A and B are shown apart, each in its own frame.
Chain A
Amino acid sequence: MVVACCERATRAGVRRGIPAAQARAAFPVGAVRLEEAAPRRDRAALDALAVWAHQFSPTVAPDPPDGLLLDVTGCERVFRGEDRLLGLVQERCRAKGLRARGAIAPSFGCAWAVARFGKEALTVVAEQEERHALKPLPVRALRVDDDAVEALAEVGITRIGELFDLPRAVLPSRFGADLLFRLDQALARAIETIEPVRPITPPSAERVFDGPTTNLEAVGWCVRMLLDELGAELLHRESGARRLDLTLGRSDMEPARLMVSMSRPNRDARHLWSLIEPRLARTHMGFGIDRVAIVASRLGRLEHTQATHLHERQGVSESEAARLGAELTDTMANRFGPIRVVQAMLVASHIPERAAAWRVVGSVARPSVARFSEPCGDSRLGEPYHQDSRLGEPCHPETNHPDRPPVLLDRPEPIDVIALTPDGPVAQARWRGEDHPVTACLGPERIAPEWWRDAQPTRDYFRIQTEGGQWLWLFRELETGRWFVQGGW
């Protein structure tokens, strides 16, 4: 079922609620990109947008699934008029890639109705004008349920204006109490409550110097002091930083920004300093630094722990090991870049190079770096990690699958093969310039391409043993008949 679609799809006749197959049929093959609806992610995005919208008003409430309610009473003065405020909201939304409709009205109900069902994308409804603005709108604009809309349609009422003509007393008894309440809300006669979100300010610490300094030691000392302050604040909040943003204000230059991220929440000033120090030493100071600010922009919960001295000799306790391990990976990720310190995960696929993927340590359990065959090397260091849903779904490691070689070449290498009969076992293989008589040949294991992805040849896999005892994993492309080595034992 279609939950949402783009403008082009709407023009082609796709509507909300029609089956996905019908929407797919309206376009040529491959022109449609369908994605599964994720209501929880939509909700999270809406909440984030509500936090963002605090630039327009101090009271912002998300109105799921697709709206924001802003109490702008008094705010219009800051923006020099309600028209300008509304225009600004639309402009900033467009800058974020969002198409927005909006209305300012004396009541939330009225603004809700006009914004969604009004003629213009942006409307300002003046005081006492609600009745006039609501009149031509459909009954659905009153936020009543489908039953009430249907009941009204049965007696021929489709517009709100027609409701005004009915006696108030009959509305609750015939169409339910909700309708009258919603009507009163839209006319600002009944009370409406909203649930505004409150943005949480991340813990931060800042120092401004008397004058610019180029003394690295002074700056480093200041950063350490700020880290101590931040650590105390984080301890108070019972959380740890997942990401730190360090801003160094430079005189006569744009500020330098450093970002360090941790695989596990941490508030240990010593460890955080060890991550920042090498980065700080490489920062260009310009004509001097006059301001240092640190913001813990991503937080994670980190409970208080009791210091133990019992396990000192025998080994490392579990929580201690987790902390040490996280600090180790952070330090490495800080030097090599996060995408070069990875964990492996298995993906539900039979194609060998797709069956495993790498993900950044501490990230969610989805492939986030690359397919196995793609080197996560320097070329991509600058890029943010892409979360590509096309990489496939993670699967459980204990799933029963056939044995695979421990060495898988990044790219299958062509190999010359001699077989006594056209489809018979391999008798001799020539790889990397050397001839190998083959003493054993097992196979084939056929792996068909995944038809729902881009076309790939079907492969027949063989395990061969060369005379030296080395086992290799070969495959033959069924369509072309070419042979490749993909790995070995």
Chain B
Amino acid sequence: MGYAGPNTTPRVELSRLRSAIEEVEHRSSQLFAPSPVAPTGWIGPDDALGGGLACGAVHEWFGLMGGGRRDSRVWLPPISVLSHLAARSLTASGVGGDGGLVLWIGRRCWPYPRSLRGRWGARLLARSIFVEAGDIDERVWAMDLALRCRAVAAVVGDGSGLNMSESRRLQLAAGAGGVLGLLARPVCELGEISAARTRWRVSPAPSPVPLPRWTVELLHSKGAQLAPEEARQWVVQRDDATGSLGLVPDALDRSLAPAGRPAVHEPGRPARTPTRRIA
């Protein structure tokens, strides 16, 4: 009796299959388990993301254009937004003591230290380490290393020129270290595919008050259903005293912003602000 018959073999295969499915499900449940999040401090985006930006993942921020020219050499990363998020991640990280480190990799995304103001700015500055890494290879190496380090709360990196495999490498590194990865990228690279968990676009928004405003738009969030476009845009405003960014409520935004130019100071008349002499 050399032939086992068709009835026995499938049963073995099925049990094997079942265990394989279980394994995959287990792994995926691990993958999509509620991981710690770093709240952005803005109600709308936090709700859309389920609490905040996921730690242990990379998030891409497509930045402002410097001077409006559309080539990648002169782009300005959205440093205000990134430093706000990095400061937020300090409180969210599970590192004991003073909290984890924040690494700024690539000179282009270093903030001017004087712009980090108030108590949270001082704290962020004390925990910050700035790495001047030149080309994309150096930057990816440094970001990979930093994202794997459990003493790090957030890595803010210059992600210009990143390709798909490098982006996947960073995503895996962030998953291994549980570190929040924030990549600044130029708008001209919006068409590139990447493995980042979320993608955002930051663009300057005209503001009726003498405080800088930005429109923050959630472009893509892996594994989540996106709301219609209007519901994925929020306006944030820099708080002069603390340097952090706060959400501008919709109503306030509409009532205050006139259709034309929002004149803080009418051109043509001499400046009202008294001259301050500082030596």
A: residues with CB less than 8 A from B are: 311, 314-318, 320-325, 327-329, 331-332, 335-336, 340-346, 350, 352, 355-356, 358, 361, 372, 375-378, 396-398, 401, 403-408, 420-421, 423-427, 431-434, 436-448, 450-451, 460, 463, 465, 467-471, 487-489
| Known contacts A320-B96, A396-B122, A489-B80, then 4 further A-B pairs from the complex at CB < 8 Å, ordered by chain A residue | A316-B96, A404-B117, A425-B271, A447-B278
- CA A404 – CA B126 in complex, angstroms? 18
Whether the pair B113, A467 counts as a contact (CB closer than 8 A) is no
- B116 partner residues in chain A, CB cutoff 8 A: 397, 406
- B254 partner residues in chain A, CB cutoff 8 A: none
- A403 partner residues in chain B, CB cutoff 8 A: 115, 117, 240, 243
A84 smallest CB distance to B (angstroms): 53
- A321 partner residues in chain B, CB cutoff 8 A: 95-97, 100, 150-151
* B48 close to A (CB within 8 Å): no
Q: Return the chain A residue nearest B121 by Cβ.
A: A397
- A421 partner residues in chain B, CB cutoff 8 A: 268, 270
Mask of B119-138 contacts with A, CB within 8 angstroms, 1/0: 10110011011111110001
A-B contact pairs, 14 of them (CB 8 A): A328-B149, A336-B138, A376-B132, A377-B132, A421-B270, A425-B265, A431-B67, A440-B210, A440-B263, A441-B265, A448-B279, A465-B207, A467-B206, A469-B203
- B94 partner residues in chain A, CB cutoff 8 A: 314-316
Within 8 A of A (CB), among B197-242: 203-207, 210, 212-214, 238, 240
- CA A325 – CA B278 in complex, angstroms? 39
* B261 close to A (CB within 8 Å): yes
Whether the pair A443, B151 counts as a contact (CB closer than 8 A) is no
Whether the pair A398, B122 counts as a contact (CB closer than 8 A) is yes
- B126 partner residues in chain A, CB cutoff 8 A: 397
- B278 partner residues in chain A, CB cutoff 8 A: 350, 445-448
Q: Given A358-B130, A432-B66, are A424 and B113 neighbors across the interface (CB < 8 Å)?
A: no
Q: Return the chain B residue nearest A434 by Cβ.
A: B68
- A463 partner residues in chain B, CB cutoff 8 A: 210
Mask of B83-107 contacts with A, CB within 8 angstroms, 1/0: 1000000000111111011010001
- Tally of contact residues, B, Cβ under 8 A: 77
Mask of B256-279 contacts with A, CB within 8 angstroms, 1/0: 000001111101111101011111
A313 smallest CB distance to B (angstroms): 9
- B76 partner residues in chain A, CB cutoff 8 A: 407, 488
- A451 partner residues in chain B, CB cutoff 8 A: 279
- CA A307 – CA B262 in complex, angstroms? 61
B: residues with CB less than 8 A from A are: 64, 66-69, 74, 76, 79-80, 83, 93-98, 100-101, 103, 107, 111-119, 121-122, 125-126, 128-134, 138, 141-142, 145-146, 149-152, 203-207, 210, 212-214, 238, 240, 243, 261-265, 267-271, 273, 275-279
Of residues A316, A327, A433, which shows the largest number of chain B Cβ atoms within 10 Å of its Cβ? A316
Whether the pair B96, A424 counts as a contact (CB closer than 8 A) is no
What are the nearest 5 A-B pairs in CB distance?
A: A315-B94, A318-B97, A432-B67, A469-B204, A324-B151
Q: Return the chain B residue nearest A430 by Cβ.
A: B67
Whether the pair A434, B69 counts as a contact (CB closer than 8 A) is yes
Whether the pair B68, A468 counts as a contact (CB closer than 8 A) is yes
Whether the pair A342, B130 counts as a contact (CB closer than 8 A) is yes
B191 smallest CB distance to A (angstroms): 22
Q: Given A325-B152, A342-B130, A404-B112, are A397 and B206 neighbors across the interface (CB < 8 Å)?
A: no
- CA A325 – CA B150 in complex, angstroms? 8
Q: Given A361-B129, A403-B240, A468-B68, are A424 and B115 neighbors across the interface (CB < 8 Å)?
A: no
A195 smallest CB distance to B (angstroms): 41
Q: Given A397-B121, A446-B277, A471-B212, are A440 and B265 neighbors across the interface (CB < 8 Å)?
A: yes
Of residues A311, A336, A345, A376, which shows the largest number of chain B Cβ atoms within 10 Å of its Cβ? A336
- CA A317 – CA B94 in complex, angstroms? 9
A319 smallest CB distance to B (angstroms): 8
Whether the pair A401, B114 counts as a contact (CB closer than 8 A) is yes
- A401 partner residues in chain B, CB cutoff 8 A: 114, 117
Whether the pair A439, B261 counts as a contact (CB closer than 8 A) is yes
- CA A441 – CA B271 in complex, angstroms? 9
Whether the pair A424, B114 counts as a contact (CB closer than 8 A) is no
- A433 partner residues in chain B, CB cutoff 8 A: 67, 69
Q: Return the chain B residue nearest A377 by Cβ.
A: B132
- CA A398 – CA B265 in complex, angstroms? 30
- A426 partner residues in chain B, CB cutoff 8 A: 267
Whether the pair B145, A332 counts as a contact (CB closer than 8 A) is yes
Whether the pair A442, B80 counts as a contact (CB closer than 8 A) is no
A278 smallest CB distance to B (angstroms): 12
- CA A352 – CA B114 in complex, angstroms? 8
Whether the pair B130, A332 counts as a contact (CB closer than 8 A) is no
Which residue of A324, A344, A352, A446 contacts B128 across the interface (Cβ within 8 Å)? Answer: A344
Which residue of B96, B141, B207, B269 contacts A311 across the interface (Cβ within 8 Å)? Answer: B96
